[in-house]
């Protein structure tokens, strides 16, 4: 056998092995450098780091729900007010101390005013909403949308809310009549139908008909959107790494079918209002009015021929662009629709589940509702619902034990020193608060796995450590729809406890099982048994 071909072959193999070795060493060096970011800064760090996927491997592989992954990181940093961890190769901070949380979310908000959603507001037509907007643009949009959730607006929705409750009552009564021997109901699905109808009617003037029609298009679209497919999961991962790349490869929209459906429904609703020249006191009308006012202001600016160029240029510089473009209007409408039905439906499901497990709490709640109803009409109005102190405590305890949005995120927008520490946080670093972990920390809520509404009554409520209870967030970016959510939940729960009893059944899962795929803390199914209450 000739010698030179053999030597050439060995030389080629050696070159390949050398190249692979250099590449492997480079990767190891790169990861070691990345994963020593917090160590070099003297910050305690979560130790559960795996190759490439860092501390969030279970999220990437969709094996464990988000709430439990961040609770694990929170627990690993026990004894520290904050600590570092890694999202893929990106450094992040877990904030554990309630006082520090309040400082970041409120007092030092100017340094942490954005969510970890950098540069994604232009990702698609449906991206520029309150969740994704940043900086001054977010402030302007938030300011103009706030009046949509005033007491007056909520009171005006009362009739529409009661119509949806009546539809729910008819559905429940029929279900019990049709299956009276074994009336087991999946309240996870039933509450989703109800909240879809409520948000459609109260916010957009849409008849979703989800309760009455099993084949409702709105409910079908809702199921599609909230089902976390592999495509959506890849989109979320890529978006955190490179929003630009996400858009370039055609993953800008989370689900084109859902977006097209909602865009068409919204256009039809707006066109119907314009052709019939009438207005409604709802969220959609607020968006329409804001956009119309901005267009009018811009026209007035263009018509100002008498002002000096200096003044005119200065004014036009701040007003020349329409803030509420079609994209901003549609994106915020869509976000409110999705968030307004799914989050409330999950919370109601958890609440009904706990009422089925605790008959004593159920009876105490019913007694309060019946007491407040004395001397009033059959349905409690907006003002009467404020008197339901124990109801408020039951919902608050539900949100403590089962926070739907289990994690809060903020992005450092300007390099600054972490309040009351020597640690410098660089611009672009994400900070996280595990709401679920805080709510289940016995330091702040003794016996956290027990359902105890009394935590939120009287002195017990006053003694809750500020910054340890955050079901709706905190600071200027607190959930804008919080009052609407509480109004809706109190309305439907007061009706249910007055007219039915709730019990566990053969299908009731104790404890509940959770879907690891969605971003929200979502139970797989919640089965209970309803029984019609005998009228006295």
- Beta bridge partners, 433, equal 408
Tokens linked to 156: 């005006």
Q: Under DSSP, is residue 370 helix (H, G, I), strand (E, B) or coil?
A: helix
Contact 397, 350 (CB under 8 A): no
List b or e across 243-281, with b for residues whose CB sees 16 or more CB atoms inside 10 angstroms. beebbeeebbbbbeebbebbbebbeebbeebeeeeeebb
Is 22 annotated as ligand-binding? no
Structural contact between residues 382 and 494, judged by C-beta atoms closer than 8 angstroms:
no
Residue 447: which residues within 8 A CB-CB, separation 6 or more? none
Sheet holding 500-503, edge to edge: 184-186, 527-532, 500-503
Q: Do residues 51 and 89 lie in contact, with contact meaning Cβ atoms separated by under 8 Å? A: no
Nearby residues of 267 by Cβ (< 8 Å), 6 or more positions away:
none
- Please tell me the distance from the alpha carbon of residue 507 to that of residue 488, in angstroms, as a whole number: 27
Report CA-CA distances (Å) from 360 to 177, 241, 373: 26, 50, 20
The DSSP-derived string for 401-419 is HS-SS-EEEEE-SS-EEPT
- Which residues, including other chains, have CB under 8 Å from residue 117's CB and lie 6 or more apart? 131, 132, 134, 411
Ramachandran angles phi, psi of 384, nearest 5°: -65, -35
Rounded Cα distance, 236 and 92, in Å: 17
Neighbours of 240 (CB within 10 A): 18
Burial class (CB in 10 A: 0-12, 13-18, 19+), 375: exposed
Q: What's the sign of the alpha-carbon dihedral 236, 237, 240, 242? A: negative
Which residues pair with residue 86 across a beta bridge? Answer: 91
**DSSP string covering 9-60:** HHHHHHHHHHHHHHHHHHHHHHHHHHTTHHHHTT--B----BTTTBTTHHHH
**How far apart are the C-alpha atoms of 172 and 178, rounded to whole Å?**
10
Q: Which residues are annotated as a binding site?
A: 479
* Residues placed in the known binding site for heme: 479
């Amino acid at each position: 056998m000739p010698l030179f071909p053999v030597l050439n072959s060995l030389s080629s193999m050696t070159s390949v092995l050398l190249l692979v070795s250099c590449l492997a060493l480079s990767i190891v060096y790169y990861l070691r450098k990345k994963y020593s970011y917090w160590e070099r800064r003297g910050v305690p760090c979560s130790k559960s780091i795996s190759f490439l996927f860092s501390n969030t491997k279970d999220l990437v592989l969709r094996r464990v729900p988000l709430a439990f992954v961040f609770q694990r990181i929170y627990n690993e940093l026990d004894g520290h007010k904050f600590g570092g961890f890694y999202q893929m190769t990106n450094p992040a901070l877990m904030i554990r101390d309630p006082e520090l949380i309040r400082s970041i979310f409120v007092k030092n908000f100017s340094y942490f005013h954005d969510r970890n959603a950098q540069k994604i507001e232009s990702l698609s037509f449906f991206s520029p909403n309150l969740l994704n907007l940043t900086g001054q643009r977010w402030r302007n949009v938030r300011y103009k949308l706030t009046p949509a959730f005033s007491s007056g607006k909520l009171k005006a929705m009362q009739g529409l809310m009661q119509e949806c409750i009546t539809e729910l009552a008819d559905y429940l009564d029929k279900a019990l009549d049709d299956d009276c021997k074994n009336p087991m109901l999946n309240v996870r699905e039933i509450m989703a139908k109800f909240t879809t109808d409520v948000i459609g009617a109260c916010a957009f003037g849409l008849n979703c008909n989800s309760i009455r029609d099993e084949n409702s298009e709105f409910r079908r679209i809702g199921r599609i959107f909230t089902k976390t497919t592999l495509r959506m999961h890849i989109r979320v991962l890529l978006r955190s790494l490179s929003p630009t790349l996400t858009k370039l490869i055609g993953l800008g929209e989370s689900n084109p079918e859902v977006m097209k459906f909602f865009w068409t429904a919204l256009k039809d609703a707006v066109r119907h209002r314009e052709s019939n020249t009438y207005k409604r006191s709802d969220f959609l009308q607020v968006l329409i009015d804001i956009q119309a006012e901005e267009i009018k202001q811009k026209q007035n600016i263009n018509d100002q021929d008498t002002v000096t160029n200096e003044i005119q240029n200065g004014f036009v510089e701040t007003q020349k662009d329409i803030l509420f473009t079609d994209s901003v209007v549609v994106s915020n409408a869509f976000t409110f629709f999705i968030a307004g039905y799914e989050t409330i439906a999950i919370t109601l499901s958890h609440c009904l589940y706990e009422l089925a497990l605790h008959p004593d709490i159920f009876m105490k709640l019913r007694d309060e509702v019946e007491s407040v109803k004395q001397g009033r009409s059959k349905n409690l109005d907006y003002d009467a619902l404020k008197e339901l102190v124990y109801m408020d405590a039951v919902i608050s305890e539900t949100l403590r034990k089962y926070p739907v949005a289990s994690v809060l995120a903020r992005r450092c927008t300007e390099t600054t020193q972490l309040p009351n520490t020597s640690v410098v946080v660089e611009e672009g670093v994400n900070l996280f608060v595990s709401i679920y972990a805080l709510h289940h920390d016995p330091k702040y809520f003794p016996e956290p796995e027990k359902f105890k509404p009394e935590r939120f009554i009287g002195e017990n409520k006053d003694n809750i450590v500020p910054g340890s209870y955050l079901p709706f967030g905190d600071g200027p970016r607190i959930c804008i729809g919080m009052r609407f959510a509480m109004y809706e939940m109190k309305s439907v729960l007061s009706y249910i406890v007055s007219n039915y009893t709730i019990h566990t059944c053969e299908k009731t899962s104790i404890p509940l099982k959770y879907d690891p795929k969605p971003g929200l803390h979502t139970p797989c199914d919640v089965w209970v048994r309803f029984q019609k209450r005998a009228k006295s």
